[in-house]
Structure 1
Amino acid sequence: MKRRRSFKKERENQNFWPSFTDVISTIALILFFLMLLAYIQNIITGTNLEYAKKQLANTQKELEESMVEISRAEERLELLEDRLERVRAEVERGEKELKLSQEKIEEQKEIIAESNKELGRLRSRLQGIAFLRIEVLEKVKDSIEEELGKASDSNEDIVLIADNGNIVINERLVFDYNSYTIKPEGKEILDELAKAFENVLEDENVRSNIDAINIQGHTDHIGSSEYNRDLSTKRATAVVNYLMESNENLEEKYGRYFLASGYSEFRPITEGTTEEERARNRRIEISIILKDSNIQNIIDNYLKESMDVFEQ
């Protein structure tokens, strides 16, 4: 019996040790694998760390570049802000200057409007003087026509107003051809002419603007200019002399206004050569010479008033 038990114990001891060895081997194998995994993990981790470091370095480099770009952008922004401020300042100055310009324009408009008014008044005054000579001659013409009618017995105009505003007396009613002796019917015309001039010269406003009343003699182109100049002057002088003889009051009060001039054939009404056209050129023409000083005074006053407006 003892022997069987001993054999049994030996058998049991033999079964235990191999199992322990297996366990130890397994544990060693596990530890090996764990160490291998740890090693591999370290390798992987190291690789990842290097990669992460590179990524971090790249990111930092990009960040630094971005910071540089941001710094440059900030500088450009500052420059743009400075430029914007200058532009704003220039715009504000421009707006102020525009406002001042508009104010000046309005002032200039007012000055121009006032100048236009002054110019209108000047024009009216000058026109008034210009119309004065026509008005005087119209009154003289109307006075003659009122007494003698508009036409002679031969149905010719006794007096008419020419395009230049002068009175034209039909020469054939006053003188015979190539003569400076006044005809009887011509004396009737000049009698009324003397009365008419006395009446219009009674007006002090008329006299103050008249320098002279020019009695002009005109001939046609037949004959020499010397002969025609002498004839035209003698006819004009004959008319003035008769006016003064016809109306002593006219000579006494207003004789200083009358003068005689001869123009020969050099101021024709027409360039034609027919007898009718030459007859038109033979004429006594009466013009009113206005005082240049009066016209000049009006212009001077206007200029003075205009300068006063600009100085204000």
Structure 2
Amino acid sequence: MKLRRRNFKKDAESENFWPAFTDMISTIALILFFLMLLGYIQNIIISKNWSATKEQLSQSRADISEKKRQLRLLEDELEDTMAEIEEGEIALKLSEEQIEEQRQIIAESNKELGNLRSKLQGIAVLRLDVLKKVKSSVEKELGKTNDQGEELVLISDNGNIVINEGLVFDFGSSKLKPEGKELLQQLAQAFERVLDDSGIKVNIDAINIQGHTDDVGSPESNRKLSADRSRAVVDYLMSSNKDLENKYGRYFVASAYSEFRPISSGTSDSARAKNRRIEISIILKDSNVQNVIDDYLQETIDVFNLNSNRDNH
């Protein structure tokens, strides 16, 4: 009985072992299946993540390439801009040099214009100086005014010596009055002394004795009266001083302006009296004035040629 029980026990234990082993194998297989399934799922997830990462990486590389291309374009634009700036700086420097050259040219031109102005003013002063000397010489001998307080001679705004007609002629007459003859004698002496100065004489072309009337009467009669008066003055200047006629008679000329160059526009007696006058004008030689201008132009041309040659070199 004991033997059977022992064998039965062994058989029972053997029967219980196999199901337990099978369950264990099944469990292990199930675990392995889950592990494999988990690995598969993980591989799928990793594969998707890798694809996404790979796609992102590819996109990033494309973005980097595009940024590099844009950077190269910006570098090229920067180089072009720098080149333009450099060209602009060179052009600006050249412009500044040209401006400075123009300033120098303008300064030289202004200097030359100043010299020309001074020379022309010198000629104008010479003309006025001749008249002042004549006026002073007359006033030294006869005084500045007559008994009525009228100036014997005066210098007008246009730079001519003006002799009041009433001092030399009666109204409407071309016959010289005694006091007029005395005045003209002094004028003749004064002109001889002035023309004896070679420095003055060389610049004088003519001494014009002008006759002027008022607007009373016809232009024809006034023209004849003004011509007769100016001729009478020249004739008496020459006859009262033969030395003046012999030495400098070629300088004197008579002209008539009638009523057409009034110095007063009024119609009163005093206004018309101002218009009845003898004017003495000193005419300078055009050649002397022209020489001054020619000298200036030649100097200007020389400066221009000098600057042109400097620019070419």
Both structures adopt the same fold (TM-score exceeding 0.5): yes
Q: Equivalent residue for 1:294?
A: 288
What is the Cα deviation at residue 115 of structure 1? 1.2
- Structure 1 residues 35-86: Cα deviation after superposition (integer angstroms, max 9, x where no partner): 2222122222222212222222222222222222222222222222222222
What is the Cα deviation at residue 220 of structure 1? 0.6
Q: Equivalent residue for 2:85?
A: 91
What is the Cα deviation at residue 19 of structure 1? 4.5
Which of 197, 203, 213 aligns to 1:209? It is 203
Q: Does 1:279 align with 2:264?
A: no
Gaps of 5+ in 2: 307-313
What is the Cα deviation at residue 176 of structure 1? 0.8
- The 3 A distance-change label for structure 1 pair 220 and 14 is same
Q: Does 1:54 align with 2:48?
A: yes
Which of 259, 267, 278 aligns to 1:265? It is 259
- The 3 A distance-change label for structure 1 pair 45 and 144 is same
Q: Equivalent residue for 2:311?
A: none
What is the Cα deviation at residue 184 of structure 1? 0.9
- The 3 A distance-change label for structure 1 pair 239 and 21 is farther
Look up the equivalent residue of 1:207 and give its one-letter code: K
For 1:112 and 1:172, locate their aligned partners in 2 and report how far apart those are by CA, in whole Å.
54
For 2:198 and 2:63, locate their aligned partners in 1 and report how far apart those are by CA, in whole Å.
96
Look up the equivalent residue of 1:231 and give its one-letter code: L
Q: Does 1:132 align with 2:132?
A: no
Gaps of 5+ in 1: 1-5
Q: Equivalent residue for 1:173?
A: 167
Cα-Cα RMSD: 1.8
- The 3 A distance-change label for structure 1 pair 31 and 257 is farther
Within a 5 Å distance, the mapping from 1:125-164 to structure 2 comes to: 125-164=119-158
Look up the equivalent residue of 2:167 and give its one-letter code: L
Look up the equivalent residue of 2:166 and give its one-letter code: R
For 1:20 and 1:209, locate their aligned partners in 2 and report how far apart those are by CA, in whole Å.
164
User: What percentage of aligned pairs have identical amino acids?
Assistant: 55
Aligned residues: 306
Q: TM-score, normalised by structure 2?
A: 0.92
- The 3 A distance-change label for structure 1 pair 43 and 192 is same
- Structure 1 residues 177-216: Cα deviation after superposition (integer angstroms, max 9, x where no partner): 1111111111111111112112222222322222211111
What is the Cα deviation at residue 288 of structure 1? 1.5
Q: Equivalent residue for 1:75?
A: 69
Which of 188, 191, 201 aligns to 2:185? It is 191
What is the Cα deviation at residue 251 of structure 1? 1.6
Q: TM-score, normalised by structure 1?
A: 0.92
Structure number, greater radius of gyration: 1
Q: Equivalent residue for 1:28?
A: 22
- The 3 A distance-change label for structure 1 pair 239 and 48 is same
Which of 230, 234, 240 aligns to 1:236? It is 230
- The 3 A distance-change label for structure 1 pair 35 and 168 is same
- Structure 1 residues 88-138: Cα deviation after superposition (integer angstroms, max 9, x where no partner): 222212212211221222122111111111111011011111222112111
For 1:246 and 1:262, locate their aligned partners in 2 and report how far apart those are by CA, in whole Å.
22
Within a 5 Å distance, the mapping from 1:8-27 to structure 2 comes to: 9-19=3-13, 21-27=15-21
